[in-house]
Amino acid sequence: MKVLGTMPLAHNPGEKWTYGLNTDLLGCLVEIISGKSLDSYFAENIFEPLGMSDTYFNVPNNKADRLPSVYMENKEGKIVEWSASERKIDPNYPLMPKSYFSGGAGLSSTAYDYAIFLQMLLNGGIYNGTHILGRRTVELLLSPQLDTKIVEKDNFSLAFSLASENSGNLYARNKDTFSWGGYFGTTYWADPKEKLICLIMTQQTPNSHGDFVEKLTNIIYGSLK
């Protein structure tokens, strides 16, 4: 993070969205300000209060058998198990003890646990009577950050891709729906208007049937009464 702080910005804030290390920097700041490691801080202030009992940087040994295998497609288009040498990423990293905790990556969780987290945001920072964030903090967290004149599809909030006027009908999702996904093929979204949370957990990347998310989205929204 000290090295990152010496580097110039790729562009001015609000001009466009670029995948970066900004969330990792926030994780570093949390550790400095709290005096705790990020895994301890998250567990004490987010996971345990919300009842997210299956979310970890280091998956414990007694839950190791619940970690699913990761798959990919080979050159012939056949589904094969992900090799530990592929892209120099070993999918069993959640089981490998680590002491560096990234603010932007590295957590393992379940659909149920992450649905709790998303529901907390939809509730304005509260879940089951437990206050995690202030209402105004959540509003700022989910507010659009890009100049609307340059937005072609999605806008971006401080933490998620954000459906805009130009992208609201892309997957039948409503404006202000916030979403993102995971490296190995997971995707999710939360729609404030419909009070709807959807999580699709796959364990394959890349795949040649990426349009299944659009198809499932249309089925879900088409079933709303």
Which class is domain 4-58+75-222? alpha beta
The highest-confidence range among 2-11, 76-85, 110-119, by mean pLDDT, is 110-119
Per-residue pLDDT for 176 more than 80?
A: yes
pLDDT digits (tens, 9 = 90+) for 49-101: 999 999 999 999 999 999 999 999 988 889 999 988 888 899 999 999 999 99
Per-residue pLDDT for 142 more than 70?
A: yes
Say how many CA atoms lie within 13 Å of 199 toward its Cβ: 14
> Which stretch of DSSP H or E encloses residue 190?
strand 187-191
**Average pLDDT estimate for 211-222:** 89
The mean pLDDT value of the chain amounts to: 91
Q: Where are the domains of the chain?
A: 4-58+75-222
**Average pLDDT estimate for 93-118:** 95
> Which stretch of DSSP H or E encloses residue 127?
strand 126-127
Per-residue pLDDT for 168 more than 60?
A: no
**Average pLDDT estimate for 178-203:** 93
Per-residue pLDDT for 154 more than 90?
A: no
Q: In terms of pLDDT, which residue wins out, 174 or 113?
A: 113
pTM to 2 decimals? 0.92
Q: In terms of pLDDT, which residue wins out, 79 or 167?
A: 79
CB 173 within 8 A of CB 163: yes
Helices (H), the chain: 22-34, 38-42, 48-50, 111-122, 135-141, 212-222
Q: What percentage of residues in the chain have a pLDDT greater than 70?
A: 96
